[in-house]
Amino acid sequence: MLSENTIKIVKSTAPVLAERGVEITSYFYKTMFEAHPELLNIFNHANQKQGRQQTALANTVYAAATYIDQLEVLLPAVKQIAHKHRSLNVKKEHYPIVGEFLLKAIKDVLGDAATPEVLQAWGEAYQVIAQVFIDIENEMYEEANTNKWEGFKAFKVMKKVDESSLITSFYLQATDGSDVPAFQPGQYVTVRLTVSGEEYLLNRQYSLSDAPGKNYLRISVKREGAEPSTLGKVSNYLHDHVNEGEEIELTAPAGDFVLNEVTESPLYLISGGVGITPMMSMLKRVADKQADRVVTFIHAAKNSEVQAFHQEITETINLLPNARKYNVYENPTASDREKKTFDLEGYVDYQKLQEIVKDKEADFYVCGPVPFMKNVIDGLETLGVKAENIHFEFFGPSINLKEY
């Protein structure tokens, strides 16, 4: 239990920390990695370079400080982060390390403003916040352990299939012959790779792109720009160097961007680019388990050359008597026009949604690049869809859409 005084100090200094939040977290990561380079085997170096992780951590610390006396308000956000932590094998013994360097960063960046009293209060608050994460993650590890899949496990690539000029699917089975556990459509796995020439292990999350209940897990990976950079390092390595018969490591499926199967409410699955992957899992699950459900599948792509799963979507939609689909192409080719491979042209925005959306009480699932998400979510809100009916997932660390 934190004392009244500690709560008062933390709350009153939170805005100061927020103002210098990115500075503090950038300094925090730098000093922590200098002292504990082994942690670079866990963290995503691309997110670090772009400053996205620093912003995500600073936002969370600020939110936690603001709600330090009613942390239950933050539980949904904590759970989402805990899923990511569990999928990266973050353990309770890591928390004191993060605590030590976070406090040191506050002290060094704020200088005289960080009085011993302020540091003492933040140290106590960190313990409380960390314990909330540790407890939730502990439950998640126990569940993974029940499925005999607590950490990383080797998987063999059984099949590698080109879905478009940019997206390739990998069909994966456990090397030790163990069964694929149940997962919820929309969940992701962390892939860990040893890449020659790289000092540290590389981890990335990929959504599972097929329904649960198969004897394999499928991920579908987009190739990124040709320029060598930290962006796309893992994805391009998978494309270029991981072939059928080879092994990669995975953690058990995680994530709370999942299809609600308790209800039969009408469903809108809206994706842009490779954001189609969790939607494929959801669509195929509906075909397996809720074939009468009313489904609208909206997918935005540049054109048919880069659109993945064209045929698989058509085949799945054909199994669903109450489903319809819209291919929205930003820049259709001459052949697209000739063969009518798309339904609408342009972006998925308010105007398009106004044409398509028939039921504002439905559940909407949205996944894609940030500008796409912003267009779609703003459009849905303008149409009058309630925020609680809009479910979405970003690529990379969560970003506050409104501030983006």
Query: Catalytic amino acids?
Result: 95, 137
User: In the range 261-320, which residues lie near ligand HEM by CB under 6 A?
Assistant: none
Beta bridge partners of 190: 205
User: What would you report as the CA-atom Rg of the chain, rounded to the nearest whole angstrom?
Assistant: 22
Residue 127 sits at φ, ψ, to 5 deg, of -60, -45
Distance CA 28, CA 360 (A): 44
| Interface residue with ligand HEM, options 14, 56, 274, 373 (CB under 6 A) | 56
| Interface residue with ligand HEM, options 16, 18, 22, 39 (CB under 6 A) | 39
Examine residue 53 and tell whether it contacts ligand HEM (CB under 6 A). yes
Given a contact cutoff of 8 angstroms between Cβ atoms, the answer to whether 140 and 94 are in contact is no
User: In the range 166-185, which residues lie near ligand HEM by CB under 6 A?
Assistant: none
Examine residue 260 and tell whether it contacts ligand HEM (CB under 6 A). no
| Interface residue with ligand HEM, options 47, 50, 120, 147 (CB under 6 A) | 47
Given a contact cutoff of 8 angstroms between Cβ atoms, the answer to whether 277 and 206 are in contact is yes
Distance CA 101, CA 250 (A): 29
| Interface residue with ligand HEM, options 6, 25, 60, 190 (CB under 6 A) | 60
Examine residue 347 and tell whether it contacts ligand HEM (CB under 6 A). no
342 backbone φψ class: left, alpha, beta (φ>0; ψ -120 to 50) = beta
Task: Give the angle subtended at the CA of 282 by the CAs of 295 and 356, to the nearest 5°.
Answer: 30
Minimum gap (Å) between residue 329 Cβ and ligand HEM: 30
Identify which of residues 2 and 362 has a Cβ nearer to ligand HEM in the complex.
2
Which x/- pattern, by CB under 6 A, does the window 368-387 give for ligand HEM?
--------------------
| Interface residue with ligand HEM, options 41, 147, 333, 398 (CB under 6 A) | 398
Minimum gap (Å) between residue 290 Cβ and ligand HEM: 29
Examine residue 230 and tell whether it contacts ligand HEM (CB under 6 A). no
Span between the terminal Cα atoms of the chain, in Å:
36
Examine residue 189 and tell whether it contacts ligand HEM (CB under 6 A). no
Minimum gap (Å) between residue 399 Cβ and ligand HEM: 9
Examine residue 55 and tell whether it contacts ligand HEM (CB under 6 A). no
Q: Which stretch binds ligand HEM (CB under 6 A): 52-60, 106-114, 218-226, 301-309?
A: 52-60
Distance CA 283, CA 211 (A): 8
Examine residue 43 and tell whether it contacts ligand HEM (CB under 6 A). yes
Helix, strand and coil content of the chain, in percent to the nearest 5, comes to 50, 20, 35
Residue 282 sits at φ, ψ, to 5 deg, of -70, -45
Return the number of other C-beta atoms located less than 10 Å from residue 310's C-beta: 16
Minimum gap (Å) between residue 343 Cβ and ligand HEM: 33
Distance CA 217, CA 189 (A): 9
Identify which of residues 90 and 373 has a Cβ nearer to ligand HEM in the complex.
90
Examine residue 187 and tell whether it contacts ligand HEM (CB under 6 A). no
Distance CA 106, CA 27 (A): 9
Residue 271 sits at φ, ψ, to 5 deg, of -135, 155
User: In the range 86-145, which residues lie near ligand HEM by CB under 6 A?
Assistant: 88, 90, 94-95, 98, 129-130, 133
Examine residue 28 and tell whether it contacts ligand HEM (CB under 6 A). no
Instruction: Establish how many alpha carbons lie within 13 A of residue 273's alpha carbon, considering only the half-sphere containing its beta carbon.
Output: 13
Look up residue 397 and give its two tokens. Answer: 């660390």
Residues that bind ligand HEM (CB under 6 A): 39, 42-44, 47, 53, 56-57, 60-61, 81, 84-85, 88, 90, 94-95, 98, 129-130, 133, 397-398
